[in-house]
Chains A and B, each alone.
Chain A
Amino acid sequence: MVAKLKGQYGSGIREASTYLGQNYMVVEPSIIVELLQILRDREQFDYCVDVTALHYPQREKQFDVIWILYSFPRNERIRVKTMIADGETVPSSVTVWPAANWLEREVYDMFGIRFDGHPNLKRILLPDGWKGHPLRKDYGIIQQDQEWVQINLGIESGQ
């Protein structure tokens, strides 16, 4: 499968490997949606398990965005990863799997990564007016949006 995809995309697929028996691929952000579509239609990865992200503040391309896919017919999982810099956008995969809707919203909420073409990209767990994205590594564990807390909860601090 990987050989076939590599033949098609060449250097678009930067790495394809296995760790602890789990397959993963690192690809360029530009081909991500096309690749996910092919994985769904041609390789039968019909179920999008999860969309999530990782933050590496020291890296030039700070964020990893990860899709975890599963195939019912093959009983296999694969992770597709792409790397982007802070402020860059990723194309949304909602057109491929409607399941990605809330999952991408959560990634946006927690990391501030914007998904291009998402139909309703707004915060999901935190309140709409909140400032900051808590799962970034530079966001402290007891940090909060003081201003929001004072205005909306009427208290000095939530701590």
Chain B
Amino acid sequence: MPDRTTTDPTTYLSHLELGEPDKTFLDSNELIINMGPQHPATHGVLRVILKLDGEKVLGTECVIGYLHRGVEKIAEHRTYAMFNPYVDRMDYVAAVSNGLGYCEAVEKLLNVEAPPRARYIRVILTELNRLASHMLWLGTHALDIGAITPLFYTFRDREEILKIFEKYCGARLTTHAFRIGGCLYETYEGFEGEVKKFLDFVTPKIDEYEELLTTNRIWVERTRGVGVISEKDCIALGVTGPVLRASGVKWDLRKAQPYAAYAEFDFEIPIGQNGDTYDRYLVRMQEMRQSLRIIGQAVERIPEGPIMAKVPKVIKPPVGEIYHSIEAPKGELGYFIVSDGSTQPYRVRVRPPSFVNLQALDIMVRGQLVADVIAVIGTLDIVLGEVDR
């Protein structure tokens, strides 16, 4: 602070007006700035260190781990069933998908299979959760770029999905919907009708989001050609999910290695061509429509029967190891479980899609503008609970 009691007028002037530029600021070409971890546009506690030349990004470094809770260590000290609710806390906006992956991995290790009805319930809830996750992504991503309205629309409609979850299992976010061997709860009275009503309700809403954004000039200018990643780079960096598909790779684990009951449904894998933020937006919008298609078919054809396979009370898989992965809303979510024949897993390794996808941030934003970093973080659709575990 300048000393206001002095009569020297130069003390009231900033450095810039003194005719002598500040060497550390104006004459340098490179500037290092810090973004996060307390920053609303980083979707959690992500810290990015940016190296800039004016507005242009020269490079980035991600600092992660602020939300590390040691989930993999906890797994080694819990029984298989006790660890089940913990996986919901990783990708907390798509908890049902996490649970599905874990339960299926343990089922494979035990060599049991969930009965058909349970598998249909799983598909319905998982796809509803994919919708909820994509809606949350759309709302926050659009908000980051400057469109406020979609946030209100998507949160309003996501609420309907959460209501179905709440009615089914009592929880809205960390659902713990599935158990090893099937489902604990039978569907509630009028479940099918309610899901069908939701489908009719939400289909025009997705058109509404697209009307707001798809041809909106500001949206297109802010997303087209931003954060481009090629097919080759995606594969080399292990990027999966909508980001990979928007770069033109027609690959979805639901089709490539079907799990649950996905082999029994008709649906398309939407892909993009340019691998930019706009294409990723289009791919996710298409995916939401495909999810609706899957849910529609599943509700129509849901079989009667038991919802729980014969699983021993104390789960003790034989010695061995398994890797099982599913197509979570963010990409390939894998579980590598090693059993030593006891009631507790010897090791549970989670292959988180957000963690691996976040690695691509650097090459996606290099050469772009600072404001595009926000757009790219949004379009990668990361959840820090899953990045840090």
Whether A54 pairs with B323 at a CB distance below 8 angstroms is no
**Contact mask B318-353 → A, CB, 8 Å, 1/0?**
001111010000001010101000000011010100
CB-nearest residue of chain B to A99: B238
The answer, among A48, A72, A126, A134, for a CB contact under 8 Å with B251, is: A72
Partner of B322 from A20, A72, A103 at Cβ < 8 Å: A20
Stretch at the interface among B34-42, B48-56, B65-73, B114-122: B65-73
Residues from chain A with a CB closer than 8 A to the CB of B109 are 20
Q: Which residues of A contact B237 (CB under 8 A)?
A: 97-99
Cβ contact within 8 Å between A141 and B77? yes
Least distance between B158 CB and chain A CB atoms (Å): 30
Give A137 to B73 CA distance when docked, in angstroms.
Answer: 9
Which chain B residue lies CB-closest to A72?
A: B251
In the complex, how many angstroms separate the beta carbon of B184 from the nearest chain A beta carbon? 25
Closest to A137 in B: B76
Chain B facing A: main interface SS: mixed
B108 adjacent to A20 (CB under 8 Å): yes
Interface size band for A:
35 or more
Interface residues of A in 8-47 (CB under 8 A from B): 19-20, 22, 46-47
Cβ of A129 < 8 Å from any Cβ of B? Answer: no
Determine if B388 and A54 form an interchain contact, defined as CB atoms under 8 angstroms apart. Answer: no
B235 / chain A contacts, CB cutoff of 8 Å:
46-47, 72
CB atoms of A47 and B238 under 8 A apart = yes
8 Å CB interface, A36-70 against B: 46-50, 52, 54-55, 66, 68
B359 at the interface (CB under 8 A from A): yes
Offer 16 A-B interface pairs, CB within 8 angstroms, sorted by A: A19-B320, A19-B321, A47-B235, A47-B238, A49-B325, A68-B351, A72-B249, A72-B251, A79-B323, A98-B359, A99-B356, A102-B359, A103-B356, A135-B72, A135-B347, A141-B74
Residues of B within 8 A of A (CB): 64-65, 68, 70, 72-74, 76-77, 108-109, 111, 235-238, 249, 251, 256-257, 320-323, 325, 332, 334, 336, 338, 346-347, 349, 351, 355-356, 359, 388-389
Binding site for B on A (CB under 8 A): 19-20, 22, 46-50, 52, 54-55, 66, 68, 72, 75, 77, 79, 97-99, 101-103, 106, 110, 123-127, 134-135, 137, 139, 141
> Which 5 interchain pairs have the tightest Cβ spacing?
A99-B238, A125-B65, A50-B351, A52-B349, A125-B68
